[in-house]
Amino acid sequence: MNETLLAVDGLVAGYGDSIILEGVSIELAAHGSLALLGRNGVGKTTLIASLLGLTRIHRGKIVFAGADVTGWRSYARAHAGMGWIPQERDIFPSLTVKENMTVIARAGPWTLERVYRLFPRLQERSRNLGSQLSGGEQQMLAIGRALMLNPKLLLLDEPFEGLAPNLVAELEHAIRLMMGEGMAMLLVEQHVEAALRLSENAVVLDRGRVTHAGPSTGLSQDRALLESLIAIPTDRA
């Protein structure tokens, strides 16, 4: 049985005096995968931000890689192995693809050559500026740049947003390959069926609370439960 990589216990957090998360508890095993689901505005992004140290934590605890990181600054969490691919991608538009990935690289198993094998299109575009890439290519670059930091955990916030179905399928394949090589992932995604296909377990949030937690396959097969929990179309691809 895999040891626990991430454990969130009774997290009450938000922005200033405004509380968004009302006692959230989740666990993610080392090398595991977790889909974080729910309607817009239920606290998914706030949970990601809390893991990264970007919110005010009123109560609860965040343990990552065996350390209580609840009071740690964002840079310390990143140094400990939390990798983040934000919804906005936040690549460096004036740097080339290669420069985007090498400027912040840290030593480890993920090298430039390995990222190029995962995303051959990035190698083809290695001399292009970030601003010259398509939306799908920018998402590949954002993931590749995060991998170059050699994290223990990747936090992916809406990686498929605005992408054509063929690009979604290409990114799904890449994410599966990463997971197959042991990368732990927490995935926030409105493409619910894709998120469930890519994850071992799923958590559903509503109004800042966990309303469901369990295996992704079970939730995917129970359409009535899925629609009652999320109340959105199960796939838009």
What average pLDDT does range 93-120 have in this prediction? 95
Q: Is residue 167 part of a domain?
A: no
Q: Is residue 75 part of a domain?
A: yes
Contact assessment for residue 37 and residue 202, using Cβ atoms and an 8 Å cutoff: yes
Which two structure tokens, joined as six digits, stand for 153? Answer: 């955990």
Give yes or no for residue 236 having a pLDDT over 80.
no
Give yes or no for residue 235 having a pLDDT over 60.
no
- pLDDT > 90 in the chain, percent: 84
Q: Is residue 44 part of a domain?
A: yes
Q: Is residue 200 part of a domain?
A: yes
Q: What is the CATH number of the domain that holds 214?
A: 3.40.50.300
- Measured between alpha carbons, how far is 123 from 220 in angstroms, rounded to an integer? 36
* Neighbour order of strands in the sheet with 4-15: 18-29, 4-15, 56-64, 67-68
Q: Is residue 106 part of a domain?
A: no
- The string of pLDDT tens digits covering residues 119-144 is 999 999 999 999 999 999 999 999 99
Give yes or no for residue 28 having a pLDDT over 90.
yes
User: Whole domain around residue 76: which residue ranges?
Assistant: 1-80+193-237
Tokens 């840290």 -> residue: 106
Q: Is residue 116 part of a domain?
A: no
Which two structure tokens, joined as six digits, stand for 216? Answer: 């992704």
- The string of pLDDT tens digits covering residues 128-186 is 999 999 999 999 999 999 999 999 999 999 999 888 888 888 999 999 999 999 999 99
157: which strand partners?
188
Q: Is residue 150 part of a domain?
A: no
> Count of domains in the chain?
1
